[in-house]
Structure 1
Amino acid sequence: MNSRFDGIAEFVAVVRLGSFTAVAAEMGMAKSAIGRAVSRLEARLGSKLLHRTTRRLTLTPAGEAWLEHCVAALDELERGESALALARDTPGGEVRIDLPTAFGRLHVMPVLLGVAKRYPALNLNVSFTDRRVDLIGENIDLAVRIGNLEDSTDLVARQIGVQQTVIVGAPGYLARRGVPRSWSDLAGHDCIVGRRQGNRIAWLMKQPDGSTARQAVPVKHELQDFETVLMAAKAGHGLTQLPSWMVEGDLQDGALQIVLEGLSGGELPISVLWPQTKALPAKIRVTIDGLVQWSLVSTSVAA
C-alpha cells in the first residue's frame, strides 16, 4: 500500500541534483525506480510536477508549489529527528518519578537533587505514594519501590538496596511494660501498626527454620502514616516494627530500643522500575545511574 509520503524524498532529490541518474547513485537505487517513484507521486497528486526532456528536467508551476511544501516538511522531520537524538544523548527535560513517602523524602530525594545539580537541563517532577502505580498508564518515567515485585514484561527493575526491619519501643514504655523476650510475650504488649495499600501491615518474624513469615500482632493503634507510627512509638504508646533506616537516628540517641533482636527480621528489596524500551532517553539513564551509584556506596539503606 502506497503511503502519502512515497516519492517525496525522490522528487526533492531530483530537483536538487537535476537528474534521475544522480539521485539513483546517491540513494543506491535503480534509475528506473526513482522515475517510477516520482511518477506514482504525480499520479496520486493528479498533477504533473516535472517537465522531462532528454536534456533537462524543469519544474511545472504545480511542481514549484509542491516543492516548497516538501522541503518544509522534510526540514521539519529532520529537526524532529535531531530533537530525538538530543533527548537520547543529552540529559534534559522533565523526568516524572514516583517515590515511597518516607523513604523517598529521606533517602532518594537527596540523590535526585544531586543528579539534577550535575545535569541542570533536567526538570524533576516527583510524587510520593505508597500505593502501586501504573507507570505506563500514569505516564511515569520511573519509580522506586520497596518489596517483592510481580513479574512484568512491560517493566524493567533493578535492585538498589535492601530494607531490614526491627521491632522497637521507647525506654519509658519498656520500663513500664517490660521487655518482651519471645514472640508469645507480645500478647501482653501494645503494638502499633501501619497500613499500606489499604491493608494492615503484619510484622515480619523469623521462623525456627530460618525463614521469614508475616505474623499478625495484637493491635493497640493502627495509623495510616508510618512517620506517625514512629512518632507514637517514641512517645511511649507501644512497640512497632519499622525499617532500620527510619529509626537508626533514634536508636543512636536512645529515643528507641530494639527488642526481640534475632527474632524480628526480614529483608525486602528496594528497586527502581521503568517501562521497557529499546533505548533509554539520556534523562532517564542518568537518573537510574545516579540511584545505582548511590546504592553502591550507601550504607544507610541496608543498615
Structure 2
Amino acid sequence: MPFIEEFLVRWPETQVEASFTDRMVDLLDEGFDLAIRFSGIPPDSRLVSRVLARDRYLLVASSDYVLRNGQPNDLSELAKHTCLAFSSRGYRQRWRFSDPTGNWNTVPIQCRLRIDSGEALHNGIMRGLGIALMPYFLVSEEVQSGSFVHILPSVMTEEIEIRCIYPSKRLLEPRVRRFIDLLATGLKL
C-alpha cells in the first residue's frame, strides 16, 4: 500500500484498481497490468519478468510465543515447535536451510496452520500462533521493534526474488512503467 499511496500522490490523474491475493493469477486472461510475485515464477513466454529486489527469509515468532514456548537452539528443535507456513493451490512452502558445508537441506516441521495469504500468516505470527519463515521485508519492522523475535539468526536461509511480471514491453502503458519504476526504486533491500 505505501507504493500505491505514493503513486497516487505523484500522479493524481491516475486510477488504480488493486487485488491483494496470493493466488497465481493469469495476467492476460484476467486483465491485470502487472503482478508482484516472489520467486518460483513459472515461465510464460507471453510475459516479461523483472527482478525488483532480492531478500532473505527469516524464521520469526512473536515475543509472546517465545516467552510461552522458548526458542529452538538448532534446526532439529523446530520439530518440537508449532510452525505456520504459506501454502497455495498445491504449492507448499519448503523450509530449506544451508548447512555449514553449503548444502541445502529441507527441515521437517510440525505445521498446525497453512495459510494462502502472507498477511494472514503475518497476523498468525503476531497472535503468537507459532514460528514462520517470512521474507525479511515483511517482518523487518516487527523484528526491529522487538515484537517479533528472529529465531536462529545464524542459520542461512534461501534468497527470495521479488519480481514484477507484466505483458510484453510493447504493450506496456506509461502509467504501468511509472509504477514498476517506483517499485524498483522503493524496494532496495
TM-score by length of 2: 0.84
**What residue identity is the alignment partner of 1:229?**
L
Distance 2:127 2:46 in 1: 44
Structure 2 match to 1:178: 70
Structure 1 match to 2:167: 275
Q: 1:128 aligns with which of 2, 20, 24?
A: 20
* 1:191 shift after superposition: 1.5
**What residue identity is the alignment partner of 1:139?**
G
Structure 2 match to 1:144: 36
Q: 2:88 aligns with which of 188, 196, 199?
A: 196
Structure 2 match to 1:166: 58
- Structure 1 or 2, whichever has the larger Rg, is 1
* 1:195 shift after superposition: 1.8
Higher strand residue share: 2
Structure 1 match to 2:185: 293
Distance 1:261 1:229 in 2: 20
- 2:9 aligned with 1:117, yes or no? yes
**What residue identity is the alignment partner of 2:142?**
D
Distance 2:126 2:103 in 1: 29
Distance 1:279 1:218 in 2: 46
Structure 1 match to 2:131: 239
* 1:271 shift after superposition: 0.9
Q: Deviation digits for residues 241-275 of structure 1, max 9, x if unmatched?
A: 22222222222222221112222511110111111
* Conservation of the 8 A alpha-carbon contact between 1:161 and 1:270: yes
* 1:159 shift after superposition: 0.9
Q: Secondary structure at the match of 1:126?
A: coil
- 2:12 aligned with 1:153, yes or no? no
Greater mean alpha carbon deviation, residues 259-268 or residues 273-282? 273-282
When residues 280 and 251 of structure 1 are mapped into structure 2, their CA distance, relative to the original with a 3 A threshold, is closer
Higher helix residue share: 1
Q: Secondary structure at the match of 1:125?
A: coil
* 1:211 shift after superposition: 4.6
Task: Tell me the percent identity.
Answer: 27
When residues 175 and 286 of structure 1 are mapped into structure 2, their CA distance, relative to the original with a 3 A threshold, is closer
Distance 1:236 1:189 in 2: 12
* Conservation of the 8 A alpha-carbon contact between 2:22 and 2:118: no
The 5 Å alignment of 1:1-303 reads 109-278=1-170, 280-295=172-187, 298=188, 302=189
Q: CA RMSD in A?
A: 2.4
TM-score by length of 1: 0.55
Higher relative contact order (CA 8 A, sep 6+): 2
Structure 2 match to 1:76: none
Distance 1:167 1:156 in 2: 31
* 1:161 shift after superposition: 1.1
* Conservation of the 8 A alpha-carbon contact between 2:34 and 2:166: yes
